[in-house]
Amino acid sequence: MVEGQKFCQTTDFSRSDAWKLIPAFFRQLNIIRKEKPDAIITTGAAPGLICVFAGWLLRRKTIWIDSIANVNRLSLSGRIAALFVSRVYTQWQHLATAKIHYSGNIFG
């Protein structure tokens, strides 16, 4: 959180409690409609995936940055996000493809 800046929270969930996906999706959809962001950027996990999907439905720019923890392949959420987001980034050069971009890692 940055002082003086607005932020929104959402429900955390995973495959083990996927029933939380539906209410989280509608909450994120409403936040995006209200806030009208130019772009939505996430570093992953299921709630981030649902948020970029809601943004994609509302025709917002969407950016997925896959976790640095995924060394051998993109995360499941990252592989799903790659199907529709505007841009996908990996922090591992050997995972880059024509669709998955590498621009360096967070440790530079």
SS3 at position 20: helix
Measured CA to CA in angstroms, residue 52 lies from 10, 20, 55, 72, 77 at distances of: 13, 16, 5, 23, 11
The alpha-carbon radius of gyration of the chain (Å, integer) is: 14
pTM value is 0.86
Write out the chain's pLDDT in tens, 108 residues: 678 888 888 888 888 898 999 999 999 999 999 999 999 999 878 899 999 999 999 999 999 999 888 889 999 999 999 999 999 999 899 999 999 999 887 666
Measured CA to CA in angstroms, residue 87 lies from 17, 18, 22, 30, 63 at distances of: 28, 25, 24, 23, 5
